[in-house]
Chain A
Amino acid sequence: MNNFTKADADDKRKLLKARAIALAKKPEKKEADEYIEVVEFQLAHEKYAIQSNYIREVYPLKELTPVPCTPQFVAGIINVRGKILSVIDIKKFFELPGKGITDLNKVIIIHNGLMEFGILADAVLGAGQIPRDIQASLPTLSGIRAEYLKGVTKEGVVVLDAEKILSDKKIIVHEEV
């Protein structure tokens, strides 16, 4: 009990200091971004949300041209004002079983500096705010692997991690014959 070494005391002090710094910072940060802006959409009777700052626009799905020799999750390509953009079925990408009839009529175009593509949606429910500290992902509930999730809200909206999806190497198609 009494044989405290100097090293132990040093460690203790360091730890306490770190805690102090962390505590000192947290409140102001929490105030600044307690909520995140999201766009909610529906896909096959489930509600999803994506952070607004990753969304370039919501585009009506008029015509989708399938591209041969692409993986299942690539739904096709669309023409957005002269630019060709690929459209992804995130349910297939997450390897979720497709259930129910869906009336895909919207494409949500998401982007970060390096990647850009559209994702299929049945309907866009609107923009909203969700608390930043939502319930950590419950993979069993949504069936989506935790790595692509930000979490699930109290209302059961699955909040997708757009950055993870956009920067995922698996989403890039690069195949030679």
Chain B
Amino acid sequence: MDKKEEEFLNKLLSMFKTEAKEHLSAITEGLIELEKSPPEKQTGLIETIFREAHSLKGAARTVNLKDIESLCQSMENVFASLKRKEIAATPHLFDELHHAADYAGKLIFGEAEPDISENAKIKEIIQNLQSAVKGEAPQPQIVSSPPLTEEKPGTPPATPETNKVLKPQTSRTEDKPRSIETMQPSSSAETVRISTTKLDSLLFQAEEMLSVKLAAGQRTLELQEIEVSFAAWKKEWAKVQPEVRSLVRTEDAHTCVSSKLVDFLEMNEAFIKSLDNRLMALTKNAEYDNRQFGGMVDSLLDDMKKVLMLPFSSLSAIFPKLVRDLSHDQGKDVELVAEGEEIEIDRRILEEMKDPLIHLLRNCIDHGIEKPDERQQKHKPPRGTLKLAMSAKEGGKIEIIVSDDGAGIEASRIKSAAVKRGVISQEEAGKLGEQDALSLIFLSGVSTSPIITEVSGRGLGLAIVREKVEKLNGIVSFETQSDRGTTFRIVVPLTLATFRGLLVQTNGSLFVLPATNAERALRIRKEEIKTVENRQTISINGQIVSLVRLADVLELPEKTRSIPDENVQIVVIGFAEKRIAFMVDEVLHEQEVLVKSLGRQLLRVRNVSGATVLGSGRVAPILNVNDLIKSAVKVTATPVKAQSGIEAKAKRNSLLVVEDSITARTLLKNILETAGYNVITAIDGVDAFTALKTREFDLVVSDVDMPRMNGFDLTVKIRADKKLSRMPVVLVTALESRESKERGIEVGANAYIVKSSFDQSNLLEVIRRLI
């Protein structure tokens, strides 16, 4: 009995949470809207928020949450006074109301501090609200008895500490205030609340119908093929028919056996003809069914997707508050303008986009928009504008734009930040063009913020944005102009589950490439392939694109292919401004593809994002374009002729790479790994020596110039160590001087490679010789 009751209470509480969330967000949205609206529209809004607070109070009472109840009561009192125009809506009042709503949320969702301070906090909030109702006089009274009778009409409005930054009363004509109806909870008579898990399973089943549709198509195709073979039979039959006829005529002259044979032949003809007729009818029916069925499945899927589509506003509703709070904290005045909120998107995409958009908005407020006085100096309006616009694009894509009219991003600052955080070296920074430098902001760890703050400065935000967007098969880019602002542009697909895929075959296996990334498929002649710096390239519309075999990138086992082909089939894949041509054996066709995960055991597979079931029932892996491009770069990093790399792989020698620049380190690691070595890295001599003590290595590749312990000292230390003294050491350096080379020999290095003459084959050859 007790357990049942407890269960019921829990259920009730979770229902209350869902409801409370709606009420609270309606209150918050309403407050934001109210702050922006002209006085004549305020009455309706106040009424709405008032009702929301009242409903929340009622709901809180049913689950016995006294604190929420009294918070709501105080809020109600404020709205009641506002309604009667006894008090005016001041920014301070809004702050208090937001504060109260926020705190109620925290209490409900269990994020509040421990009990003692909690009580005090509630008392304080309630007191503040009460004093707001009464004017400014602080009230000792805490309990939320209805104070309506105590109110003095015509209390002077503003509180002394009015915030100068926010000006709520200014009417803004440029943004359309949301109508009152849209703010009301969507619990009208026509809607039903269904849990998302139920909907998801329904979508899964509906999507499954796609494979049934594809299979039906396949069956129809097979029937049509049989019909074609019947046509071939008819042709053959027509050839021998006269002879059979003549046999029939001369039947009497022959024996009984041949008469029987002729009978059988005639019967056969009639039988096959009737079969043919039946087949034709069957094919017709199958074609009809296929069309009918296809149409039904398509419309079912379409409707099902629509069920899971939510308007952009369901996500963007949280942003005005976020922007308000963030800009408030930083003493900035920012207005958020949202466009295209009515556009509907797949709920799963919307959920994935929440974090990236929050990061971008934070970024714009933190780095983009200046403080009001600074803006005035630049002859800009003191209030910054942050735009969040969503629009539908062709090809089932949507574009989200986040733009500010702030200071813009300076390439030089990005460069120095990247150098400071060790993402690139000073030398590399010098070589970078402006556009390349700007694209560094997407790298993890790059932040121009001088200090790490709660909001930003860790340099992770934009890296997360890019990761999330690319995971959705989308693209993020940005433009910036000094003192004019920055615009981030995100393009993501409208739905997730199905897309157009290009079916290709290589080394006997089928793969699916997303058609959106497959820019073109073409056949080229072998002579068109040029080898530049040991890498194969082709020219497409005058642009040099590197060419790799898909089989190599996917590490497929080498097949013995005997027929030398004059032509090569290639598919050009483009992803975020990178283009690479992949050689395949055959491009089959484009088709609709339903993405399925690879199961729980294959959480993430290199180069493969999922799988799909083809019409024939066969399963084909779907390739991950982002990974493919990364892998292709690795494959091309090894020169075509470096076949000996494969031999090295068999032994799997372990190398220690010591290099303080992260770029050089990564480069070396990549080169050596693709040549088949196990590579461990260290950041300087001290780090390296520790590694040597704890693990077994076959060879050390070290930079010379490093902090703490340089390459020479490291070599000396290795030679002095009893166990390590015979370890081969290759020094790789930028110092091309006779003295340093001699010094290298003196300390006992086995090789000394100067970076300027640093080509991979040289290094690989040296290493092979030493091990």
Do A172 and B607 touch (CB < 8 A)?
A: no
Question: Taking chain B's interface residues, is the majority helix, strand, or loop, or is none over half, making it mixed?
Answer: mixed
Q: Which residues of B contact A175 (CB under 8 A)?
A: 604-606
Asked if A152 CB lies within 8 Å of chain B CBs, one says no
Closest to B634 in A: A177
Q: A67-B602, A68-B608, A173-B604 are in contact. List 4 more A-B contacts (CB 8 A).
A: A63-B617, A77-B621, A82-B613, A84-B598
Do B611 and A69 touch (CB < 8 A)?
A: no
A70 to chain B, nearest CB (A): 6
Q: Which residues of B contact A65 (CB under 8 A)?
A: 509, 611, 618-621
B530 to chain A, nearest CB (A): 26
A residues in contact (CB < 8 Å) with B? 63, 65-70, 74, 77-79, 82-86, 88, 114-117, 171-177
Contact with A along B695-739 (1 / 0, CB 8 A): 000000000000000000000000000000000000000000000
Do B608 and A67 touch (CB < 8 A)?
A: yes
Asked if B631 CB lies within 8 Å of chain A CBs, one says yes
Given contacts A63-B619, A79-B613, contact A68 B599 (CB under 8 A): no
**A67-B621 Cα distance, complex, nearest whole Å:** 7
Q: How large is the interface on B (under 10, 10 to 19, 20 to 34, 35 or more residues)?
A: 20 to 34
B419 to chain A, nearest CB (A): 26
Do B596 and A70 touch (CB < 8 A)?
A: no
Q: Say which residue of A63, A68, A82 sits within 8 Å of B554 (CB atoms).
A: A68
Asked if B211 CB lies within 8 Å of chain A CBs, one says yes
Q: Say which residue of B599, B600, B604 sits within 8 Å of A114 (CB atoms).
A: B600
B596 to chain A, nearest CB (A): 5
A11 to chain B, nearest CB (A): 42
Do B603 and A86 touch (CB < 8 A)?
A: no
**A86-B601 Cα distance, complex, nearest whole Å:** 7
| Interface CB pairs A-B, < 8 A, 30 | A65-B611, A65-B620, A66-B509, A67-B602, A67-B605, A67-B608, A67-B621, A68-B509, A68-B554, A68-B605, A68-B621, A77-B611, A79-B613, A82-B596, A83-B599, A84-B598, A84-B599, A84-B610, A84-B611, A86-B598, A114-B600, A117-B599, A171-B601, A173-B602, A173-B603, A174-B603, A175-B605, A176-B606, A177-B606, A177-B634
Closest to B554 in A: A68
Closest to B509 in A: A66
Do A84 and B603 touch (CB < 8 A)?
A: no
Q: Which residues of A contact B604 (CB under 8 A)?
A: 173-176
Do A177 and B627 touch (CB < 8 A)?
A: yes
Asked if B150 CB lies within 8 Å of chain A CBs, one says no
Closest to B626 in A: A177
A10 to chain B, nearest CB (A): 41
Do A68 and B617 touch (CB < 8 A)?
A: no
Given contacts A69-B554, A82-B208, contact A77 B607 (CB under 8 A): no
Q: Which residues of A contact B627 (CB under 8 A)?
A: 177
Q: Which residues of A contact B603 (CB under 8 A)?
A: 172-174
Most buried by A among B554, B597, B620, B621: B621
Asked if B351 CB lies within 8 Å of chain A CBs, one says no
Do B621 and A173 touch (CB < 8 A)?
A: no
Closest to B610 in A: A84
Q: Which residues of A contact B598 (CB under 8 A)?
A: 67, 77, 84, 86
B623 to chain A, nearest CB (A): 9
Given contacts A63-B618, A82-B208, contact A69 B601 (CB under 8 A): no
Closest to B613 in A: A79
Q: Which residues of B contact A67 (CB under 8 A)?
A: 598, 602, 605, 608, 611, 621
